[in-house]
Each structure stands twice: as C-alpha cells, then as structure tokens.
C-alpha cells in the first residue's frame, strides 16, 4: 500500500515539475534572443527617485517594462528595488533587488530566478554623445539546456 502512495506522490511531483516548466516557457514566449537593451528614463513626480526602461521584444509584438526605485533601508543605506512588468509571472517573482558590483564602476545587477530559466538585469551607466549621463538597461535571458541540465 505504501508503495502505491509513494508512486502516486512521485507522479504528482513529476507533473507539478512539468507544469512549472511549461508555465515558464509560456511566460518567456516571444523572447527569441538572449539579450535585450533599453534606456532608463526618470519618472517625474514620483515620491522616490524612480526610473523606467522599456524593452521591445522580438516576438508577438510585446514589450517589457523594468522599473527601478531608489530606496533606503532602516540603517539609511541606499539600495535599488526593481519591478518587471510585461511577463505573465507570479507577483513574488516580478520583484528583484539590484546590488552594486564590486568592480568599481556604478554597475548594478539583479536576478529573477524562474523554473528552468533566469533573467539577469544590469544597469550600466554611460555618457551620450552630447555628454549627458545615460543609464542602460541590459536584460539577459538564461535558459536551461537539455544537454547540460544547467542554465546557459
């Protein structure tokens, strides 16, 4: 009797795993390339400094919006809080925190881990031709490969 319950539980776990994989595949449909980029624009009138980057996808005429807000923790240290819109994801997976890279440049990175995939969001500062400071948004899509079983 115990064996049949264990087998049923194993089949249930496998089915749940397949549903999660399919959900991620559907959510990422339309993202045919592994890299996307956009430029952050300041949102006027926001209480905290907030910036928005719009990334046009190459499939299904969809677009993603990445909103970044500067916040302070209880100790007064500033951090960047991000929100991804435009994908059918659960609300807890759409939020991410950006951390500053230790390489000296003002580069920030954040990660959204999905089932079998990962989205890496980078903020890269640069100067425009006219000398204005511009912050670029770089989104990298990492998908699990069947050959290696890992994310590439």
What single string gives the DSSP state of each residue in 25-63?
Answer: HHHTTT--SSEEEEE-EE-TT-SS-EEEEEEE-SSTT-E
**How many Å apart are CA 91 and CA 82, to the nearest integer?**
12
**Which single residue is written with the structure tokens 């699990």?**
144
Residue 152 lies in a domain: no
Residue 151 lies in a domain: no
Q: Is the pLDDT of residue 10 over 90?
A: no
Residue 95 lies in a domain: yes
Percent of the chain scoring above 70 in pLDDT: 76
**What is the domain extent for residue 13?**
2-143
Q: Rounded to two decimals, what is the model's pTM? A: 0.73
The pLDDT-based confidence of 148 (bands split at 50, 70, 90) is very low
Q: What is the CATH number of the domain that holds 122?
A: 2.40.128
């Amino acid at each position: 009797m115990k064996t049949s319950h264990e087998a049923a539980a194993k089949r249930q776990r496998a089915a749940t795993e397949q549903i999660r994989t399919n959900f991620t595949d559907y959510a990422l449909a339309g993202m045919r390339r592994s890299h996307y980029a956009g430029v952050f624009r300041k949102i006027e009138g926001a209480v905290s400094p907030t910036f928005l980057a719009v990334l046009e996808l190459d499939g299904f005429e969809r677009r993603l919006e990445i909103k970044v807000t500067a916040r302070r923790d209880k100790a007064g240290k500033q951090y960047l809080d991000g929100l991804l819109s435009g994908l059918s994801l659960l609300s807890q997976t759409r939020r991410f925190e950006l951390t500053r890279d230790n390489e000296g440049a003002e580069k920030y990175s954040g990660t959204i881990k999905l089932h079998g995939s990962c989205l890496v969001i980078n903020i890269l500062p640069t100067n425009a031709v006219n000398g204005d400071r511009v912050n670029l948004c770089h989104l990298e899509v990492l998908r699990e490969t069947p050959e290696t079983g890992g994310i590439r």
